[in-house]
């Protein structure tokens, strides 16, 4: 089933026709950039097309603003992650600098990982990062977090299940 088959197009067309200009202006006031506001307004309606429930809310502007607000948060998170990545690259010597294509691929991977980890409880996220990035054993993680090895095992199961579900759902499940 394609994303366009989730919600009747007429519902989204009506929302778009009646509220797109308002939403774009609302986003421009929050972002300070006409181009980013236009992109996120577009993304808001694309998100509506991928939803399974009808898009005929009682308060359409509040509904659109809620979706757009989430996109603004994602936008700022992505920008912060991109700045941190570019700052890390800035200290590399020129011969070790990745190509623009490699930088784009890594940035997309970082954003995907950040999104995936964002849904985890802090202790679960920390245990997962300590295991997967720092290479600590469950016993070392337990000692660092002040929990039992069994708790670390449970954290890891939750983290892996969460990551699996995110990947299995794919990009159009929002």
What confidence tens digit (pLDDT) does each residue in 63-89 have?
999 999 999 998 998 899 899 988 989
145 and 67 within one domain: no
Please tell me the pTM assigned to this model: 0.67
147 and 72 within one domain: no
What confidence tens digit (pLDDT) does each residue in 119-138 have?
899 999 999 999 998 899 99
Query: Is residue 105 situated within a structural domain?
Result: no
Query: Is residue 110 situated within a structural domain?
Result: no
Length of the chain: 174
Q: Residue 103's CB: how many other CB atoms inside 10 A?
A: 15
Q: State the residue range of the domain holding 154.
A: 119-174
């Amino acid at each position: 089933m394609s994303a366009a088959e989730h919600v009747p197009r007429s519902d989204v067309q009506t929302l778009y026709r009646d509220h797109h200009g308002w939403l774009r202006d609302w986003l421009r006031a929050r972002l300070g950039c006409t181009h980013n506001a236009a992109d996120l307004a577009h993304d808001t309606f694309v998100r509506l097309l991928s939803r399974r429930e009808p898009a005929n809310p009682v308060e359409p502007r509040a509904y659109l603003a809620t979706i757009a607000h989430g996109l603004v948060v994602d936008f700022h998170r992505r920008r912060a992650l991109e700045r941190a990545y570019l700052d890390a690259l800035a200290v590399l010597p020129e011969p070790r600098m990745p190509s623009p294509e490699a930088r784009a691929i890594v940035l997309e991977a970082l954003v995907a990982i950040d999104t995936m980890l964002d849904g985890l409880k802090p202790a679960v996220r920390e245990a997962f990062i300590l295991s997967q990035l720092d290479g600590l054993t469950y016993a070392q993680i337990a000692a660092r977090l002040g929990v039992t090895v069994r708790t670390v095992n449970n954290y890891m199961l939750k983290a892996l299940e969460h990551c699996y579900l995110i990947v299995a759902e794919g990009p159009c499940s929002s």
